[in-house]
Amino acid sequence: MKFVIIIIIFLFNSFAQSQSSNYFYNAEKKIESSEFNINNDAFKAFVLSAIIPGAGQFYNKNYKRGIAYLAFEIINWSKRSTYLDKGDNFVAQYKDFANNHWSFDRWIRDINLIADSNHPVNSVMLGPDGNFFYPWNDSHHIEFYLDGYLRRTNNSNGDNWFENTYKTVCNEAINNFQECITSEFVNIDGSSAVVTKDHHFYEGIGKYDLFFAGWDDTQYGECDQSTIDQYGSCSYILLTNNTENAYTDNKRYYQYELRDKANKNYDVAENALTFIFINHAISMLDAFIVNLVSNKSSINYMTQPLYDNNIKLNGLEISILW
């Protein structure tokens, strides 16, 4: 978009200068009102294409070009709508999958199991000092309501409640790398804490290793035997984006089948929107310049698409001679 804006500014400056020089050069041949009418017609074509790509071309009686711009607009709006719907569908799928396979209660219970140096994914859970990196040490967090109070799993808001409480009630489990069985993080009425499941939550449980313990297939007997045969455990480490991360089959499916597909569909939808803006800009310029060309034989105008080695459109070259 920045490239298109630069072109527009450059063209208007160029035309302003050329119009000024042409006016004085042809002052004896053309009266001022005729010059105004030409510019006014070009401006109308420009504005019409700004509203609907191709409208300026129809105004110039250039119907084939008008149909092409309008068709490109319709195709990209349709494409954007289609891929937004696909993205929304995958979002619904990954939220449903997370709600069924990731548990806050389980996460609270199993954190200390991963602190054991013998655990298959322990090496990616260590802090700069080589010690296990507990949730309260990280900037990322989970928010949850407990007996009406909003709590946070880290100390970023200055509240150390979660850290202090967990260290107190799970002290033995921390020291022995055992499950922490406690009712401290359950409401008085026995119901589970209500987790704030916003965008950050659904991103975090798949992206950040500190939430790994909450997945329901981290231990032996909870995953397929084929996974154990391949990795030696239900929990394993993979290199992704030049970084080692902890995975289970469910976490991997969640992150790279459901969430990744949602993001890719949204990316296509955003690309379609970019093409829509570009189509508007080019249609506006085309309508404006062609109108001038039709009234001034001394002006020549040509556009040429620019492709890379993979035949992917990288831009548009605009040439104007006058």
**Over the chain, what is the mean pLDDT?**
84
The residue type at 238: L
pLDDT for 310:
65
pLDDT for 268:
96
Which tokens belong to 49? 């294409």
CA-CA distance, 279 to 69, in Å (whole number)?
7
Percent of the chain exceeding pLDDT 90 equals: 64
pLDDT for 302:
66
pLDDT for 24:
32
pLDDT for 319:
67
Residues of the chain with pLDDT below 50 are 1-38, 297, 322
In 3D space, the residue among 301, 306, 303, 304 whose CA is nearest the CA of residue 15 turns out to be: 301
Contact criterion met (CB below 8 Å) for 228 and 243: no
CA-CA distance, 266 to 182, in Å (whole number)?
41
DSSP letter (8 states) at residue 184: T
pLDDT for 8:
42
Helix intervals (H) in the chain: 2-25, 32-51, 55-59, 63-101, 104-114, 161-169, 171-176, 199-207, 225-231, 249-253, 260-295
Predicted TM-score (pTM) of the model is 0.74
pLDDT for 214:
96
Chain segment 118-162, per-residue pLDDT in tens: 999 999 999 888 899 998 988 899 999 999 999 999 887 778 899
CA-CA distance, 39 to 36, in Å (whole number)?
5
For the chain, counts of helices (H) and of strands (E): 11, 7
